[in-house]
Structure 1
Amino acid sequence: MFLYGYHPVREALRHRPHEVARVLVSAARAGHRREEIAEACRRHRVPFQVVPEKALAELAGPAHNGMAAEVRAAEVSPASTASQAGADPGLVVLLEDVQDPRNLGALLRVCEGAGAGRVLIRDRGSAPVSPTVAKTSAGATEWLEIERITNTANEIERLKEAGFWVYGTDPEGDPPWEVDLSGKVALCFGGEEKGLRARTRQLCDRMIGLPMRGQVGSLNIATSAAAVLYEAVRQRTSPQHK
């Protein structure tokens, strides 16, 4: 499998160089990023090849952005090997029916930035964690513990048994700054069109929403997730909540 784009290639070399079979760079690509990747390949003894632009496009697709890494893995970021320095095990994100790979990539980038300890993705109805997702996430998939799940209800029950409060998201929910997000919490985000499934909503302890004061009725899912997750970060790092 090929990962493409500067950020996914760089993070793969940082996180799991032993799984990178080779790195290919377009002959038309020059500059400090190419030199940085070449140096990382030398350091980790990963083959580094300069190839014609057309050859790279044939292997990695037209959106390669000048470089690609061939990795020996079936998944972009297997949960068994992913690790994130500073990840918060008490902050879990559950994603359901996010179908657009670019939305999923943007969401995962937010999750990694906010220090989510785990990301659970409902397998059926969701986009796979593909090279496109990895590229959109700017390499965040390399550092997240991502787990594909088959049954959202079962996972929510397990989270509750482990002491987590489970919060869903809905436009009519309570503002996140009015909800205590300082403990063990699981935040559930639904798909682009319909949001969370009805059964998932029923199982949530409370619904969280962002008040819309303008004329547009909603925010992009990654933007909404960023607002909610960083309110959780604010509460969890605030001295008064410690």
Structure 2
Amino acid sequence: MLRQWRGLAEDCVLLDGFHALKHALRFGARIPLALTEDRAAALELADGLAPDLTRTLDGLLREVPPGALRGLVPRPHPTGVAALAVRGGGRVADDRTSPVVVLDNPRHLGNVGAVIRLAAGAGAAGVLTTGTVDPWHPNVVRASAGLHFATAVRRCEPSALPPGPLYALDPDGRDLRGLELPDDALVAFGSERHGLSEALRERADHLVALPMQPQVSSYNLATSVAMTLYHWMAGRAPAPGGPGRGTPA
């Protein structure tokens, strides 16, 4: 089993922990191997947090000896569960009905994962990143709790962005509160340190800014994305059967 893991790991995405595996399964990920150091405890967790997946996990999880996961993953999750998933697709539909988040040369892997988790919860059509960071890096997937599979995620340079009006967040832009973001918008956020690149700024159709008190220099990247997506969501009536109130996971 451990040999099988090592053979699959190079071509698969690591799902680090029960919650990442839970979300990946809910959104249709293909899981060739899922391991746990305590099968009974993992299934008990499923009964409490994901009863819709208990039967699936019962057939999927394989138990390994205590301490075995330390030889397979850099930092075993407290839930004692790790799995491998086939990497998802990153195609964004041209006729989409929700915005796409564009992260311009992000550097912090945890921030990228947090943004993907936000995008999944808000129903965004995708998260595209420019630059060198791999948005499917294990640390990003860990921070997203496996919600990569709930939306489109891929690396994409400014010249290859999908169609749609591009709204770029910039301190010199127009206050977001006076604008209505269209459903097919691309919403671009600059890097944590350097802001928007010239390529993204030139590509932008609109520069917009988040409201902020004087003397406050900036918001965290994930906070900026959350504020912007909430602004878009607040302008639309809740869809029947659409997203409800969430809980931490």
TM-score (norm 2): 0.77
Q: 1:23 to 1:39 in 2, by over 3 A?
A: farther
Relative to the length of structure 1, the TM-score reads 0.79
* Structure 2 residue corresponding to 1:146, chosen from 142, 146, 153: 153
Distance 1:89 1:69 in 2: 32
Cα shift at 1:133: 1.2
Partner of 1:211, secondary structure, is: coil
2:179 corresponds to: 179
Return 20-29 or 89-98, whichever deviates more: 20-29
Superposition RMSD in Å: 3.0
- 1:107 and 2:115 correspond: yes
Structure 2 residue runs without a partner (length 5+): 1-8, 239-249
The count of aligned residue pairs is: 223
Contact 2:165 2:186 in 1 (8 A): yes
- Between the aligned partners of 2:61 and 2:39, the Cα distance in structure 1 is 15
Q: Does 1:223 align with 2:223?
A: yes
1:135 to 142, 151, 161: 142
Letter of the 1:7 partner, please give it: H
Q: Tell me whether 1:11 sits opposite 2:51 in the alignment.
A: no
Report the alpha carbon displacement of residue 153 of structure 1 after superposing the two structures with TM. 2.9
Q: CA deviation at 1:237?
A: 3.2
User: Which residue number in structure 1 is paired with residue 82 of structure 2?
Assistant: 68
Structure-1 separation of matches of 2:123 and 2:96:
6
Paired residue type of 2:69 = L
Q: Does 1:121 align with 2:129?
A: yes
Q: 1:142 to 1:129 in 2, by over 3 A?
A: same
Pair 23,116 (structure 1): closer, same or farther in 2 beyond 3 Å: same
Residues of 1 paired with 2:65 and 2:154: CA distance?
37
State the distance in 1 between where 2:232 and 2:111 align. Answer: 21
Residue-by-residue CA offset, 1:32-80 (whole Å, 9 max, x unaligned): 3255679836437743222234201211222423111122x2x3x3226
Letter of the structure 2 residue corresponding to residue 22 of structure 1: L
Aligned position for 2:208:
208
